[in-house]
Each structure stands twice: as C-alpha cells, then as structure tokens.
Amino acid sequence: MEKTIESTVSLAQLRRPLPREFYDRDPRRVSRELLGKVLVRREGRRVRTARIVEVEAYLGADDSAAHSFAGRTARNAVLFGPPGHTYVYFIYGNHYCLNVSCLPDGVAGGILFRALEPLAGIEEMALARGLSVASTATSARDLRQLTSGPGRLAEAFGITRERDNGKDLTSARSDLFIADDGYRVRRILTTPRIGISKAVERPLRYVISGNEFVSGPRLRS
DNA sequence: TTATAGATTGCCT
DNA sequence: GGCAATCTATAAT
C-alpha cells in the first residue's frame, strides 16, 4: 500500500443522503452507482465514514440465491417494502450483514454491502472490531481487516438487526445513510457472488477495480 | 501462503 | 433439524 488514507471528505457534502429515487431501480443498476459512494454513521458528534468498494445485487423472484426468493416472511419483509431501507440479517451465529432495499413497494430486491474503504472514524471502527487502534493506524494489512467483508463492515459500523433493521437511509435525520462526495469510480469489475450455493454463476458482484479493500484474494484488473 | 474446521444463532421446512 | 449472502484460529506447505 503506497499511500495513507486521508479523509478528504467534507462534512457539508456528507449531510445529504441519496434520495429515495436512487434506490427505486433495478438492483444491478443501483449496485454500479453505489460503488464510490460513502456510508455514514453518526453517533452524537462522532462520525464514521467509509467508501463503498464492493456490493452484490439480489434480485428477488428471479433469483434463487436471494432471501426474498421463497416469498415474504417476517425476516425478509424489508426487501418487499419501499426502496432505500436497511435489511439487516444475522448469519452463521456470529455476524450481521447490511443490505439496502431496491425497487418499488411490493417488489423485492436488494443489495448486500461486502466491503468498504475506511475514511474517517477509524479509531472507533477498530474499537468496534476489537482490534488494536495502533496497529490499524500503522499497518495497511490491519487497516484492511476493519471493513473488508460483510460481517466485518457491519461490526465496524456497530450495525445490528435490533438497532438498524428497517431504517430509512434517505432520511436526513437518520444516524445511518449514504452520500455522494463527488468521488468518481474509474472502472468496475463484475464477478460471481460469494458464499452462495444457488445461482452461483450469475455475475452480480460489483467491485471497484484495483481497490485494496475489496474482500477475498486480489483480483486481476 | 493456502487449507480446513469450529463457532453459534435464528429462520424456515 | 438443517443449514446459512461469514470470520478466525490453527495447521501444514
């Protein structure tokens, strides 16, 4: 890793959440446009921000790997609701995963957040992850451990089902939302999704080409 | 550097 | 009762 991570993001730019219409489209389109945007967690005066570098689209009725595939249940209800709301589920007995609903009310679809590049509030993320603040500040390898993977990023942002499921990400008063800081993505790679056993071949995973914080082994770009 | 098992909860059949 | 959109420790190469 050749450069240190600096927060070049102004808080003024991060005050406006992306609007509802942004999410009211096909998850494949929203996935591409979410790359490079910034996830913001506000806690009183403290702010954690990180750039979205890897996501997966889940399509609903057409997609046997999606939680919504078998129809609406209490657990997956958010995916069938209006766009721009968080779907948080618990997995493997240990981890929470963060998603956002897409498409209009009544139509299922969503996006799983798989990896982020930390920008601000790195100390708080390290504490939330139970990692050493000192080593994440000095080791690129340890910094990568913070938010590189869906369970990791949820832990770094303090996201739980109890606290965050069903939140409206488009509300200006929300303590969790997504904003555009003007960053432009150069190139997007698409690959099959990770960790699923159905519809394994569909290329619905989207990553920023060359980004160090993408989960898993390095891809050639 | 890669491979493998174990953890541990709640949802759905 | 089975198993999941995962992570970590540990072992072996």
- Render pLDDT for A78-107 as a digit per residue (tens, 0 to 9): 999 999 999 999 999 999 999 999 999 999
Closest nucleotide relative to residue A161's CA, C1' based: B10
Task: Kindly give, in sequence order, each residue whose CB lies less than 8 Å from that of residue A67, ignoring residues fewer than 6 positions away.
Answer: A58, A75, A76, A79, A87, A89, A110
**Mean pLDDT, range A148-169, rounded to an integer:** 96
Chain B bases having any atom below 7 Å from a protein CB: 2, 7-13
Q: Is A155 helix (H, G, I), strand (E, B) or coil?
A: helix
CA–CA separation, A162 vs A189, rounded Å?
33
Closest nucleotide relative to residue A56's CA, C1' based: C5
Could you tell me which residues are beta bridge partners of residue A97? A89
**Cβ A65 to strand C below 7 Å:** yes
Distance A219 CA to B12 C1' (A): 35
How crowded is residue A23: how many other Cβ atoms within 10 Å of its Cβ?
26
Give the CA distances from residue A29 to residues A34, A108, A146, in Å, rounded to whole numbers and listed in that order: 9, 15, 27
State pTM to two decimals.
0.93
Average pLDDT over chain A, rounded to an integer: 91
Distance A30 CA to C3 C1' (A): 30
Domains of chain A in sequence order: 11-208 (3.10.300.10)
- Check: CB of residue A205 under 8 Å from CB of residue A193: yes
Distance A138 CA to B8 C1' (A): 33
The pLDDT-based confidence of A218 (bands split at 50, 70, 90) is confident
Per-residue pLDDT of A159-189, as tens digits, reads 999 999 999 999 989 999 999 999 999 999 9
pLDDT score at A221:
57
Lowest mean pLDDT among A8-22, A36-50, A87-101, A109-123: A8-22
Query: What would the two tokens of residue A149 be?
Result: 């993977």
